[in-house]
Amino acid sequence: MKPRCPLVVIEWEDSRQPSPGWGYLSGFEPGSVVRCTSVGWLIHDGDDLKALAPNLGDLDADVQASGIIQIPSRCVIGVARLKEPRLTSS
């Protein structure tokens, strides 16, 4: 059975990808932070870290997760709980 983990959307900030190669400091142009949005089941909600699992499997057994992302709590701008739709079996 699926653990009681809320489905959420998290908005958070991340650093930009490192610049490739060498460059002169005199030509450096600072960029902005990267705003990100992630959706998944909140499997860990700690003071230092939030962990989201966008994929869950084996819901009727020992639940598995894949694609888990770990976001430092200090980077989180906001968290909103989403309403989980009721899915019907075919």
Q: Tens digits of per-residue pLDDT, 42-68? A: 999 999 999 999 999 988 888 999 999
End-to-end CA distance of the chain: 19
CATH topology of domain 1-15+34-82: SH3 type barrels. (2.30.30)
For the chain, domain boundaries: 1-15+34-82
What confidence tier does 1 reach under pLDDT thresholds 50, 70, 90? very low
- Rounded to an integer, what distance in angstroms lies between the CA atom of residue 42 and that of residue 54? 9
Share of the chain above pLDDT 90, in %: 73
Using 50, 70 and 90 to split pLDDT, how confident is the model at 90?
low
The whole-number pLDDT of residue 8 equals: 97
**pTM listed for this prediction:** 0.82
**DSSP conformation class of 86:** P
Q: Identify any residues that bridge with 42 across adjacent strands, giving them in sequence order.
A: 52
Q: Are residues 75 and 13 in contact, defined by beta-carbon separation less than 8 angstroms? A: yes
